[in-house]
Structure 1
């Protein structure tokens, strides 16, 4: 059984969720800005965490590639897998839209 203090803390934490107020349009705009800010036309797989603020790991991208579900257009450049920035942005937008549909309402 939860103590009254713990219950109150949980209720307060439920109220402090700024991401809930973000619209899908704003989220997609942020993804576009992320791609526009990247200084190169390609992104190395190992640089994906840096580009995405840690939301997309290189290991996850490699696993998706092995399942043929990863970012399209990847190719080897100097022994490293790289992806066109626009394909990374498109992939992230798909992930945002999918997670938006499945998230629970606040």
Structure 2
């Protein structure tokens, strides 16, 4: 795993103890974050509805393949918005760590 991934998992294990391995919770949070990003870059509910309503009869692809596609799209969005996506991710983790420390102390 990468330095960032290890850092994220450690923080989540501290802050979300029981839910780290809870796939239902991971799906929920992924969907909420993806929808928020989709709207932040100008996506509309109409476009979203069209995608959701498509008939998807094919078998889902492997997680590693889909994750690779997702990371590529995030890289492209970071490029368009002139953002370092890994720096944004580290900043978010640092902010969450500080919030957790403030709540604990």
Q: Say whether the fold is shared (TM-score over 0.5).
A: no
Larger radius of gyration: 1
TM-score (norm 1): 0.32
TM-score (norm 2): 0.32
Larger relative contact order (Cα-Cα within 8 Å, sequence gap ≥ 6)? 2
Structure with the higher strand share, 1 or 2: 1
Structure with the higher helix share, 1 or 2: 2
